[in-house]
A and B are shown apart, each in its own frame.
Chain A
Amino acid sequence: MAEIENLFSKTQHARDAQCQAEGLACRRGAALVFEDVFFHLTSGQALCVRGANGSGKSSLLRQLAGLLPLAAGALTRPNPHKHTHYLGHADGLKAALSIGETLAYEAALAGQGADHAADLTARLGLAGRDWQYVGDLSAGQKRRLTLARLLLDPRPLWLLDEPMTALDEDGRALVGALAKAHLASGGMIIAASHEPLGFANAELVLGAQI
């Protein structure tokens, strides 16, 4: 019943990646969170998922990332292990590590050497803080740090849960710029957010009629 509002006319990029949901439903325990969710996203497009608290925005993203089973429906999507980034509420950062160590770890998970992480602090607006412990960072700074994953490993589909939360003006601009560059290069973004996103060009409203 959720609306399909993403009829795009953008030209296809070289990458013919796509993400398509047909009649998705999600169940938590005995409760139905949402059902009949349809959308179709192709290279270069972004989708903003909206809806009240508890309407299942985060659950939808987790389903797209392969972390939650589908209660019904079919999903065509890039491989979650290789072609999908998922940035959820819980950031998975470790307070006992420094920024430098965190970035080196992230680089290794992206299959790259620590040298790839070298210039990241500057790009994320965390320059000169390599030595600082993640536990001492503010929420916004941690958020910036998680963006490193997007930069280290070019994956076509980004799933962003509340990407603007806790970020300042600069931080939001940074996310916007990253997103635009990603879309321009043929990537796809699905973001759940209550706030306006600078980059999203379609909306999916969950729980509109339930």
Chain B
Amino acid sequence: MEYVSPEGLRLDGRRPMEMRQIRGEIGVVDKADGSAVFEMGNTKVIAAVYGPREVPNRSQQMNDRALVRCEYTMANFSTGDRMRKPKGDRRSTEISLVIRQTMEACIMTHLMPRTQIDIFVQVLQADGGKSRCLIAAVGTRSACINAATLALSDAGIPMRDLVTSCSAGYLNSTPLLDLNYVEDSAGGADVTLGIMPKLDKVTLLQMDAKLPLDIFENVMQLAIEGCKAVATYIRQVLLENTKQLEYRRGTHGQSPAYSAFKVLFSAARRFIAVLMKFDGGYIMETVFDEGSRLKIKHIQSSIPNQRAVFRF
């Protein structure tokens, strides 16, 4: 089969060195400490990070560094044909392991001894056309790693660098960047690479099928370029997110001005919550407890008439 046309176009219309469309978004799971969704073409992955937190299983606690755990799950509806799912099967265990090892390499675990960091990766959609595809899972691992990186940065976990991942292959004597499902299942070589772009270090490298050494160098160089492009994009997403946060906290430009105060609630005279009107929207919150003032803990969103949520 011809995967690259004489005009130099691939089956989905891309050039050999072109990536599928990528999109990342931060903060999609409100309850998690950090979360992100990452899309590469038709592949769509959600990652959520919980931690650093106390290690629930004491026997796993490590006194010199944090415990990093990862679980990869595919939704029933993520593939073309509905999966009758075997939960915790070998393939997902293997991918969990790959993601964990890749992320562990970049997290500064020594800064958080006796804690645990959980990374949960959920595949919502796997590129894979209409067939019952097991290979689809293979194509998702790059997206999973990129989503995990975004989620870890959203959670504010100290990292050496952003790990990014991308795959490259070799079909019809042409090195191809970011294989889609059809190209992936063609049986050619497939190199999945994860790098730390600033440190220029490889944290993940997988390849199946055989490839002459000089060609392998080319393909790997292509994958490195892909990873770097993803890294640039991820940096943009993070920067945009930071700007948004800055804006929401009112530290963008000028300091906040409280324009109105309103005592909202007093249950059995134990707590008083004060609602503050602020730059047009309402935000929270100050709490008093029988004379002694408690700290302002956090700022709620700008929904009118929102009452305080307290964390003592």
Determine if chain A interacts with chain B: no
Q: List the interface of chain A (C-beta within 8 A of B).
A: none
Q: List the interface of chain B (C-beta within 8 A of A).
A: none
